[in-house]
Structure 1
């Protein structure tokens, strides 16, 4: 498998498929010395079952571990940190990764509890969890899905789980795209196994899974994300961190250079609509430096209100994000907007809390006329 290749396999026996595509990709050949320390980085953004469309399927991780152990690799760890607002230990339990850890005797490192140190990353100093330095070969296992703030999330953005919560907050305060791209220099991905089974193509926290029943492998995270961008009907300019990472030399950002190979009979392609929910809902929001969880809970709540036909009663934009700290306004979501006339406390408030709060606000607005 070359760095320009993206291999795909289709089916519903996820562990078996994963082992087959790893064999076709000659992962063990890329690793070389089986005594190397190998890290597996899934996406466990929040405590939700993989069928919800947000988190890595445990069967994919199980397939990776079995493949490695069957080829003599014994120094394997899993490492991940959920988004700010949820505890990794809860996500690992709900998503089945504590069970995997016990079944295969593979340690699970909660990066929310790890020490971290600053590293020079192509002109940006970024904090990275110490456990990253302890592995010789990193296997990234992202979920192919949409994202409320960056349009897509896959290989490059999944590395955010390997930085401490304080750094995640800082990423949002300085703008997500540049630090995500520079993190690609600070954390080298040696191999990528993409969970393209049923990711939510709009929301990073899931809720609207789109069954595609595919697993990909790739070696270039930038090319991988560029191809995802193309597949979801976005231009590269719509996801700026791809172009920035390409300029930094992290990888190739031209999806047309990808050599896509199918390892088994190709099933009918799913039609992916060009108009996405998040784009239609963003007009209701004034967002400045919001954290992923806070914004990620707001957008699905707005979608629910839109489906109920009440969102059009909104008479002001909803403020959200760290940029509103100490400021006043009309309607705000989260602790950062605590000085607003009407605000919902929480860091972050949940989707259900946001939904109920905004529905009550809209009902009061309706009755005022």
Structure 2
């Protein structure tokens, strides 16, 4: 399914307050919501609202981990990392839901200082009061991952010590897997992402997502690398956000924004075989909206 066909069914909404523009949807299976619009922050908030609101996932007094893609020290305009406007919107919604603490964290490729600064996360933390936490090797612990093939792999225990885990990847091209979205973004939880690249990368990514599923996935598809990624490449602007509690189905719908399907993405079928959701976008419960006239 190409992007044009995918968005044909979008509901055109007037530019009115979000609380009136998109009403929360009652839980009905693994719902995936997409919202298209000009403002990354506005469409992020609208998409979560349409899924039922952040209060559906975050309770008062909870500690929440927000995990964007901060793999590379790139300016947000390059679209190699999650848009800071999206991350800021997520943090604000989590705080409004009553969270006691919000942590932003990733394990970048190479030293963390460059990506954290270059990707705009220091500004997000300063504006919201969220903790921008570096990955510390001394905090790596062995994790069972539901007894799958990754049993015993080491994970940053920061991700184990929170009440809610929100995955906030960017949709972009990747030379090893065609696309990196939510499932592959989880490689930032573990000690050595390079161990994934090579043989059976799709199976390993599926096992990672099966063994450590986020509570909520918010895919930044506002400005993305459509080819040539993951560090840089051809940039386009679908101006879309995809949200779901189901990581596989969020990824499948996000992939459709760029006209990709299970045929080119090696971790979709292994995840489907583990019962993690549908890989045929036509079988997924999708509600699509367009914010603004």
What TM-score comes out, normalization by structure 1 length?
0.66
Alignment partner of 1:106 is 2:133 = no
Deviation, 1:230, is 3.8
Alignment partner of 1:4 is 2:30 = yes
Deviation, 1:106, is 1.0
| Structure 2: gaps (5+ residues) | 1-26
Matches within 5 A, 1:207-226: 207-226=233-252
- 2: distance between equivalents of 1:207 and 1:93? 21
Write out per-residue CA displacement over residues 296-325 of structure 1, whole angstroms, 9 at most, x where no aligned residue: xxxxxxxxxxxxxxxxxxxxxxxxxxxxxx
Match of 1:192 among 210, 214, 217: 217
Match of 1:90 among 74, 97, 114: 114
Distance 1:229 1:59, change over 3 A: closer
- 2: distance between equivalents of 1:32 and 1:67? 9
- 2: distance between equivalents of 1:191 and 1:118? 24
Alignment partner of 1:136 is 2:160 = no
Deviation, 1:3, is 4.4
Distance 1:201 1:97, change over 3 A: same
Contact 1:82 1:112 in 2 (8 A): no
Higher helix share: 1
Deviation, 1:257, is 1.7
Q: Alpha carbon RMSD of aligned pairs, Å?
A: 2.1
Alignment partner of 1:180 is 2:209 = no
| Structure 1: gaps (5+ residues) | 268-369
Match of 1:251 among 247, 268, 277: 277
Which residue of the partner structure matches residue 149 of structure 1?
176
Larger Rg: 1
Matches within 5 A, 1:1-369: 1-31=27-57, 33-83=59-109, 86-111=110-135, 113=137, 115-121=139-145, 122-125=148-151, 126-164=153-191, 167-202=192-227, 203-265=229-291
Contact 1:143 1:154 in 2 (8 A): yes
More RCO (CA 8 Å, sep 6+): 2
Q: How many residue pairs are counted as aligned between the two chains?
A: 263
- Could you say what secondary structure the match of 2:249 adopts? helix
Distance 1:226 1:21, change over 3 A: closer
- 2: distance between equivalents of 1:231 and 1:58? 21
- 2: distance between equivalents of 1:245 and 1:96? 32
- 2: distance between equivalents of 1:176 and 1:89? 27
Distance 1:262 1:220, change over 3 A: same
- 1: distance between equivalents of 2:242 and 2:210? 23
Deviation, 1:127, is 2.0
- Could you say what secondary structure the match of 2:82 adopts? coil
Higher strand share: 2
Contact 2:57 2:216 in 1 (8 A): no
Distance 1:96 1:141, change over 3 A: same
Distance 1:62 1:231, change over 3 A: closer
Contact 2:221 2:254 in 1 (8 A): no
Contact 1:9 1:216 in 2 (8 A): yes
Deviation, 1:262, is 2.4
